[in-house]
Structure 1
Amino acid sequence: MLRSRLKPSLLRLVLRNPVLITEKSFHTTYSNKKTESFEFQAETKSLLDIVARSLYSNSEVFIRELISNANDALEKRRCIELSQEAGTSSDVPYEIRVTTDEAANKIVFEDTGIGMNREELIDLLGTIAKSGSKEFRNQNIDSQTAESIIGQFGVGFYSAFMVADKIVLKTKKQDSVGYTWLWNGSSAYEIAENEETTVGTRIEIYLKPGDAAEFSRRQKVIDIINKYSYFVTVPIILNGDRVNTLNAIWTMNTNEVTQEMHETFFKQLAKTHHPTLVDDRPQYIIHYKADAPIHLRSLLYIPAHKVSQLEFTAEAADSGISLYARRVLIKAHAKELLPRYLRFLVGVVDSEDIPLNLSREMLQNDLVIIKLRRILTDKVISYLLNQMKKDRIKYLEFYQGYSAFFKEGVLLEQDQTIKEEISKMLLFESSNFKPGVYTSLSEYVERMQKDQKNIYYLFAPSRNLAETSPYFELFKKKNWEVLFITDPADEMVLLFMLQFQLKNIESVENWLKNEGVETVEHEKELTRDTNKKEFLTWVKSNLGSVKVNDIKPSSQASDHPFIITVAAEPGVARHLMRLGQIKDKEHLVMLKPVLHVNFNHPAITGLMKRRKHDESLSVKVIEQLYDNALITSGLLKDPSQMVPRLNQILGELLQGEKSTILVP
C-alpha cells in the first residue's frame, strides 16, 4: 500500500515524476487544435506538496474520491434535466464506468454526467478550494435536488496525484466543445480542444510503478469500491460488470424496507467492515431519519450474537458505525458518533452536514459531530427503553448479551445525568417478584412505599442466599422492596450511581448499621444481665480485636446467631477482595466489624451454657458462627479452615454427651 511520507518541496515532487508524454508529443497528437499551457496557481502547488506528504492516510481513497466526483456530476445532470421541459432529457444512462488495464498499468474512470467546459477546467482543476458543486448549488438555489450536492471536485481530484505519473482527462459539456486536460508530472497542465469527446468526463490515470500498480488490478479495485462506494446512487460498472447491486436502504422510508433487505444489508456491512459478524443477523433495527436540527439518515443494528465476557474484555475500541456523506463512505469505524458503551451497534450514519477538511478522512470533532452524537445516543436509548416495555422477554434476551456495555458506561461516565440515563436500561431481580423476573430502577421507584426514602439492594452470590440473608429479614417485615444483586459488576454500578431520580441508593447492610439495630438504651437494658455481659466479653476476647472491633447484643427475631455490620461500605471491600488487592484480614482492619449477637438464637443460649465446661469446643463454635456471618456478608476471604473446623465440632459433639447446642 502506497503511503507517501515524503516531505519534498513542490519542485522536488514534480521533478521526481517521469514525464511519459512530452509537450512535443502532446502537440503532435492535437496539432490541428489550439493547445494552451497553464501553470498551477500558487495555492494549488501548495496542495500538491500537501498531497505528497500524505494528505490522505491511505492512497486507495483516490478511487473513492473520483467515484464521488463522478456521482456529483451525474446528480448535477439529473438536476438540470429535471428542470427542463418534458421530452428534452437525454437517453444516455446514468452510470459510472471503471476500467482497469494491468498491461498498461492504468485505471480509467468515466461518467455520463454534466461534464466541464474550458473555463471550468481551469477554474476547478487549476485552483484549489473551489467547489464546483457549491457554485452549482448557488446558481440553482430554488432547486431542491441541487441542495443535495455536496462534492468538492477540485480537492478530490488531486488525490489521484498520489498514485499517478500522468493524468489525461477528457470532458465535454452539453452544447459545448470537448476538451482534453493533461498533466504529465510537471508543475503545469495543458488544455486542448477534442472533437471526439462525448458528453461527460473520462479520467485516465497512468499509475506509478511499484505499490501504486496494484490499483490496475480488477479485484483490488472491486474491494475498494465495496469498502467505500458500494452505496452510491448510480450503477458502478467495472470492466463491464456492475459492482454495486444493493440500494442505500438507510435513505428509504422504514415501511419500504423488508426484513430480508435488512438482513442482506447487514451482511454487506459485515462483509466489508465487520467480518466477525458476517454469519450473524440483527435482533434490533433502529431506522431513523431527520432533517432538523441536522440532516440525518441512519440505520443501526444490534446483532443477535450474545457477547461473552471474554469477547467483551478482548473487544477492540473500534466502533461498528460507518459514517457516510451522500452514500459515500467517510470513515468505516466512526467512534466519534456514539459513546463507548454503545460500541456494539453496527450500521451507517449519513449526513450532508458533516464538516470536512481537505480530505474526507479528516473528520473534525466540531459542533455538528457533537449534535449527531447526542441525537443518535438519545434515539438509541429511547428505542431500547421502549423495547423493554414492549417486549420484556426479547429485551431480557438482548440484555443478557449486552448488559456489560451499559454497566461499563455507568462506571466510566463522570456526569451523573448520563449515568442515570444509562442505568435506565439496567435490569435486576427483586424481592417483589419470583426468581427470573426482572425490574428496572424506574419501575422500582414507582413502587416505593410512602415511608421508604431510599432504593435498597443486597448483594449475595445467589438469589437463595439473598432471600435467607440476615440483612434481608428486617426488610421483609417493613415490606420494603430490595434489589437482589448477584453479579459483582451490578454491585459496583450501584456503588458508583449513588442516586437515581433524587433517591439515594443504599445497601441493606448500611441501612442495618445506621437504622436497623437497637438503640443505645436498648443495648444498656440487655447488658444489665451479668451473664450476657460476660459472654460478650468472652466472645470478643476469643475472636480478637481485628475480627470484632465492637460487639453488641441484639434481641431481633432472626434465624442467624451473628450479624456483622462494618464501618465502611462492604461492597468496596468485596471488590478489593475480588481483585486480590488485600491480604489475609486486611479488609477486616479497614472495615472495623461490629458483631451483633442474637441472644434469642438457640445456638447462643446453648453456647452460653456449654462454654463453662467445654472451653475448647465453644471457641471452635464461635469461630464457625463468625465465619458463617462473614459468608452471609460476602466478606470471607479464605474459607479453607471452615470444613476441617466443622468436622471437628461435629466429631466432638457426637462423641460427648447430648448437647443442646445447634450449629447451623
Structure 2
Amino acid sequence: MSLRLAPRFARILRAPPTRISSSVHFQPTYSNPQKRFLASEPQRHEFQAETKNLMDIVAKSLYSHSEVFVRELISNASDALEKRRYAELKGEVAEGPSEIRITTDKEKRTVIFEDTGIGMNRDDLIKFLGTIAKSGSKDFIENNKENAEAVIGQFGVGFYSAFMVADSVVVTTRKVGSGPEEGLRWTWNGDNSYEIAETDGLPTGTRIEIRLKVGDSASYSEEEKIREVINKYSYFVSSPILVNGERVNNLNAIWTMQAREVNKEMHENFFKQLVKTQGKQEMFTRPLYTIHFQTDTPVSLRSVIYIPQSEFNQLTFMAQQKMCGLSLYARRVLIKPDAQELIPNYLRFVIGVVDSEDIPLNLSREMLQNNPVLRKLRKIITDKILGSLQSEMKKDPVKYSEFYKNYSIYFKEGVVTEQNQDIKEEVAKLLLFESSSKKAGELTSLGDYVKRMQEEQKEIYYMYANNRHLAESSPYYEVIKSQNKEVLFLYDPADEVVFLGLGQFAMKQLVPVEKWAQEEAEKSGKDDKKDTKDFRDNEKKELLDWMKDTLGSVKVAEISGNHRPSEHPVMVTVLDMGAARHFLRTGEIKDMEHLVYFKPHVHVNLTHPLVKSMYKMRKTDKETAAILAEQIYDNALITAGLIKDTSRMVGRLNKLLTNLAGNKGSSTILTP
C-alpha cells in the first residue's frame, strides 16, 4: 500500500511530471480559429511526487538533530492521552492508567514507546500514519477547541522523525471503544510501503517499536541516553513518563500555574531542574529573584524567570557572551533550549522558561526568525525583567546593592549596546553609584539623583576617578563643590563609556564635571576684574606666554589665568575628557598623541604659591623653571586621568630636586 500525501503538503513538495525547457520555443499554426481557441485553454495538473524521495526528505532533512524523534513520539503519546481524557468525558472507557512508557533494549537495539491513550483504528492508521502532513491532533484542536489546551501536534510529520534512526517500525494499536479483537499492526521495513494487519488481545492505546540503525542511532537503545533527551525536551509533559518502569518526570510545569499556587520550595526544586538540564548546576545553586507571570494579550505567554544567586567577574562575563538560560516551550514541550531571540543579549544571565502557544514554528517545530510575534514576546519579557528589578531595588535596596555588585556589568553592556533611547534609560535605572551627597560606600540611582536635583538644575553631573579620595581632591570637583551641586562618582572605567553612550536621563543631560568646570573657568576668567597684587596684566601675559612656549603647542592649545583660590596650581581641560580617557585605555592612540586631537586648555591659578615662585625663578634659573612647568603640567594630566606613562617623570623629578638642592635652600621656589 503506497504512502499518500495530504493535499496541502503535496502542493508544496510534489514535482511536476514533465520538465519543459525554456530555451526552445515554437509557435504552432492553426487553420481553424475554433481549434486555436480550444488549444489556448489552460489545463490544470496536480503536482506529483516520488514518495521515496519525499520520505528521504522527511527522515533526513526535516529535523536538525536525530534526538528530537524522542520528543516527537512523546508529544504524540501525550496528545493521545489528552484525546483519551476527552473520550472519557463523553463516557467512553479506556484501560489502565494514563501514562507514557518507554522501554530500551541495548542487546536487541530497540526502543519502544507505549501510551494508554486514545489508540487508532484502520482509518486512523491510513489517514495519520500513511498520509504525510495529515495531523490528527490539529483536526482534534479544530473540532474541540475548548478541550484541547494540552494538545501539542500541529503538522502531522512528527511520527516520521523516527525514520531518521530506524531500520524498521512496528505500530500496534487499539482504539478506545473498540473490542479486544479489533487490534491492528502497522509495519514499515525501511522501504516505500507499509502493511496493516489485524491482531487481537491488545490493550487500548498505541505501542511503537523501533529497531534502530547500526551506528550513532543505536545509542537510543540505552536508558541513560533516553533519560537525557527526556530531561532536555519533554520533562514537563503533563502525563507521567516511565523509562524501564521508573518515572522520570516528577515536577509540575509550574509556569502553567498561578503564582500564588507556587511556594518557595517548589521554585527552588524547579530551578535546580532547569540548571541541571542546561548543565549549569555547578554555577548556580539557588534563585535570588523570581519573576512568575502570565499574559494573554498581545500574545499568550506563561513564564517563570529566575535571576540566579552568583558571583560574576570579568572572566565569567566574557565566557558567557553567547550563553542564554531562557528556554522556549510550546505546550510544555521544549522547542529551543537557548532562546536568544527572546531577550536582549545583556539579559542572558537569566534562567527560565517561556511557554507560548502563539510562537510561530516551522515544520520541524523550530522557531521562526524575524517574526512580529517574536518581537512582541521579546518586548514583553524584557520589560518584565527590567520592571521587576526596578521594583526589587526600591523594595530592598540592601539586597539589590549586593546583587548589583555581581550583575552591574550586564546592565552597563545594555546601556551601551541598546539602540532605543527609552530602553537605554530603563536599563540605566538599574545602575548604582556613589554620590557627593551620600556617605562613602552608600549607593544611589540616577532616578533618586533626579529627585534630589536643585530646582533650577537642568543637568546631571558626574565625575570619573579611581576612588572617592581622588575624586574629592580633584580641582574639577573643587570648582563644582563651591556651588553645592551633587556629583555622581564613577570608579569603573566602563561607567564613563556608559554615560557617554547614554547621553541623557529623564530629559536631563549627563555632563562630566570637567566640562562644567571648564565652562565655569572660562566664564570667571571673563568676569574676573579682581584687583590683585599677585600679577599685573603685563606680568600675567608674560607668564602665560612663557608657559605656552615652554610646554609647546601640542600640550597647550589655549592658556588662561584666574585668581580663584585653589590647592592646585594648574588645571587642564580638553574638548571631551571622557572620550580622551577612553582612547588612552583602549590603546587606540599613543601616549600624549591624544592631546593633538583634544586641544588642551591650561587654566593657571595665579594665586598659587608655586606659580608665583615659578614666575620669579624663570628669570634666575630658566632650566629649573622649565622643568617645574613641565612637572606642574603633568601633575594636572595625572589628576585628569590623561596620562598613561608616568615613567619619564622620575628622571625629571630627580633633576628638579637636584637643582633645588644645589641652591642650598635659597631657591625662590621655597621662598615665594
Q: What TM-score, normalized by structure 1, do the two folds share?
A: 0.89
Match of 2:189 in 1: 184
Match of 2:565 in 1: 557
* Aligned partner letter, 2:646: P
**Structure 2 residue corresponding to 1:95, chosen from 94, 99, 118:** 99
SS of the residue 2:255 aligns to? helix
Match of 2:235 in 1: 230
Q: Shift in Å at residue 523 of structure 1?
A: 6.5
Deviation digits for residues 517-562 of structure 1 (CA, Å, limit 9, x no counterpart): 3356446988862222111111112111111112111112221110
Q: Shift in Å at residue 160 of structure 1?
A: 0.4
What does residue range 253-332 of structure 1 map to in structure 2 within 5 Å? 253-275=258-280, 277=282, 280-332=285-337
Deviation digits for residues 562-620 of structure 1 (CA, Å, limit 9, x no counterpart): 01111x31111111111112123211111111111111112112222233222222222
Q: Shift in Å at residue 238 of structure 1?
A: 0.9
Match of 2:498 in 1: 493
User: Given the alignment of the two structures, is residue 130 of structure 1 paired with residue 138 of structure 2, yes or no?
Assistant: no
Query: For the Cα contact (< 8 Å) 2:584–2:591, is it kept in 1?
Result: no
Q: Shift in Å at residue 485 of structure 1?
A: 1.0
User: Given the alignment of the two structures, is residue 334 of structure 1 paired with residue 342 of structure 2, yes or no?
Assistant: no
Match of 2:214 in 1: 209
Between 1:102-111 and 1:349-358, the stretch displaced more is: 349-358
User: Given the alignment of the two structures, is residue 146 of structure 1 paired with residue 148 of structure 2, yes or no?
Assistant: yes
Match of 1:157 in 2: 159
Deviation digits for residues 186-232 of structure 1 (CA, Å, limit 9, x no counterpart): 22222222222221111111111222111111111111111111111
Query: For the Cα contact (< 8 Å) 1:602–1:662, is it kept in 2?
Result: no
Query: For the Cα contact (< 8 Å) 1:69–1:153, is it kept in 2?
Result: no
SS of the residue 1:321 aligns to? strand
Deviation digits for residues 10-64 of structure 1 (CA, Å, limit 9, x no counterpart): 99xxxxxxxxxxxxxxxxxxxxxxxxxxxxx959766423224421111011011
SS of the residue 2:157 aligns to? helix
Query: For the Cα contact (< 8 Å) 2:99–2:115, is it kept in 1?
Result: yes
Deviation digits for residues 347-391 of structure 1 (CA, Å, limit 9, x no counterpart): 111122222211123544412222211111010000000011111
SS of the residue 2:482 aligns to? helix
User: Given the alignment of the two structures, is residue 240 of structure 1 paired with residue 245 of structure 2, yes or no?
Assistant: yes
Q: Are the structure 2 counterparts of residues 314 and 137 from structure 1 closer, same or farther at C-alpha, using a change threshold of 3 Å?
A: closer
The CA distance in 1 between the partners of 2:441 and 2:283, in whole Å, is 32
What does residue range 150-549 of structure 1 map to in structure 2 within 5 Å? 150-152=152-154, 154-176=156-178, 177-275=182-280, 277=282, 280-518=285-523, 521-522=526-527, 529-549=537-557
The CA distance in 2 between the partners of 1:662 and 1:66, in whole Å, is 91
SS of the residue 2:409 aligns to? helix
**Structure 2 residue corresponding to 1:583, chosen from 577, 584, 590:** 590
Aligned pair count?
620
Q: Shift in Å at residue 98 of structure 1?
A: 0.4
The CA distance in 2 between the partners of 1:403 and 1:641, in whole Å, is 37
The CA distance in 2 between the partners of 1:135 and 1:576, in whole Å, is 63
Query: For the Cα contact (< 8 Å) 2:326–2:354, is it kept in 1?
Result: yes
Between 1:362-371 and 1:311-320, the stretch displaced more is: 362-371
**Structure 2 residue corresponding to 1:59, chosen from 54, 57, 66:** 66
The CA distance in 2 between the partners of 1:586 and 1:512, in whole Å, is 23
After superposition, the CA RMSD in angstroms is 2.3
Q: Are the structure 2 counterparts of residues 277 and 290 from structure 1 closer, same or farther at C-alpha, using a change threshold of 3 Å?
A: farther
SS of the residue 1:289 aligns to? strand
Deviation digits for residues 313-349 of structure 1 (CA, Å, limit 9, x no counterpart): 2224131111111221111111111110100111111
Deviation digits for residues 461-480 of structure 1 (CA, Å, limit 9, x no counterpart): 21111111111122112221
The CA distance in 1 between the partners of 2:343 and 2:648, in whole Å, is 50
The CA distance in 2 between the partners of 1:56 and 1:377, in whole Å, is 30
Match of 1:649 in 2: 656
* Aligned partner letter, 1:234: S
Match of 1:36 in 2: none
The CA distance in 1 between the partners of 2:557 and 2:153, in whole Å, is 74
Q: Are the structure 2 counterparts of residues 662 and 550 from structure 1 closer, same or farther at C-alpha, using a change threshold of 3 Å?
A: farther
Query: For the Cα contact (< 8 Å) 2:591–2:643, is it kept in 1?
Result: no
The CA distance in 1 between the partners of 2:433 and 2:440, in whole Å, is 10
User: Given the alignment of the two structures, is residue 624 of structure 1 paired with residue 628 of structure 2, yes or no?
Assistant: no
* Aligned partner letter, 2:207: R
Q: Are the structure 2 counterparts of residues 510 and 434 from structure 1 closer, same or farther at C-alpha, using a change threshold of 3 Å?
A: same
SS of the residue 1:188 aligns to? coil
SS of the residue 1:244 aligns to? coil
Query: For the Cα contact (< 8 Å) 2:434–2:490, is it kept in 1?
Result: yes
* Aligned partner letter, 2:251: L
The CA distance in 2 between the partners of 1:401 and 1:45, in whole Å, is 57
Match of 1:27 in 2: none
* Aligned partner letter, 2:562: S
The CA distance in 2 between the partners of 1:575 and 1:278, in whole Å, is 33
* Aligned partner letter, 1:344: F
Query: For the Cα contact (< 8 Å) 1:288–1:298, is it kept in 2?
Result: yes
Q: Are the structure 2 counterparts of residues 268 and 521 from structure 1 closer, same or farther at C-alpha, using a change threshold of 3 Å?
A: closer
Structure 2 segments unaligned to the other structure (5+ residues): 1-12, 16-47
Between 1:491-500 and 1:128-137, the stretch displaced more is: 128-137
The CA distance in 2 between the partners of 1:260 and 1:44, in whole Å, is 53
* Aligned partner letter, 1:620: I
The CA distance in 2 between the partners of 1:339 and 1:360, in whole Å, is 23
Q: Shift in Å at residue 90 of structure 1?
A: 4.6
* Aligned partner letter, 2:83: K
SS of the residue 1:480 aligns to? coil
SS of the residue 1:275 aligns to? coil
Q: Shift in Å at residue 252 of structure 1?
A: 2.3
The CA distance in 2 between the partners of 1:647 and 1:368, in whole Å, is 69
* Aligned partner letter, 2:107: A
The CA distance in 1 between the partners of 2:521 and 2:538, in whole Å, is 25
Q: Are the structure 2 counterparts of residues 44 and 266 from structure 1 closer, same or farther at C-alpha, using a change threshold of 3 Å?
A: farther
Match of 2:90 in 1: 84
SS of the residue 2:456 aligns to? coil
Query: For the Cα contact (< 8 Å) 2:359–2:367, is it kept in 1?
Result: no
Q: Shift in Å at residue 255 of structure 1?
A: 2.8
Q: Shift in Å at residue 661 of structure 1?
A: 3.4
* Aligned partner letter, 2:153: G
Q: Shift in Å at residue 93 of structure 1?
A: 0.9
Q: What TM-score, normalized by structure 2, do the two folds share?
A: 0.88
Identity %: 57
Q: Shift in Å at residue 250 of structure 1?
A: 2.0
The CA distance in 2 between the partners of 1:640 and 1:615, in whole Å, is 24
Match of 1:29 in 2: none
SS of the residue 2:131 aligns to? coil
Q: Shift in Å at residue 490 of structure 1?
A: 0.5
The CA distance in 2 between the partners of 1:386 and 1:69, in whole Å, is 42
Query: For the Cα contact (< 8 Å) 2:105–2:221, is it kept in 1?
Result: yes
* Aligned partner letter, 2:502: M
* Aligned partner letter, 1:599: L
Between 1:248-257 and 1:423-432, the stretch displaced more is: 248-257
Query: For the Cα contact (< 8 Å) 1:307–1:402, is it kept in 2?
Result: yes
* Aligned partner letter, 1:168: V
Structure 1 segments unaligned to the other structure (5+ residues): 1-8, 12-40
SS of the residue 1:115 aligns to? coil
Q: Are the structure 2 counterparts of residues 657 and 516 from structure 1 closer, same or farther at C-alpha, using a change threshold of 3 Å?
A: closer
Q: Shift in Å at residue 487 of structure 1?
A: 0.8
Q: Are the structure 2 counterparts of residues 447 and 633 from structure 1 closer, same or farther at C-alpha, using a change threshold of 3 Å?
A: same
The CA distance in 1 between the partners of 2:364 and 2:340, in whole Å, is 18
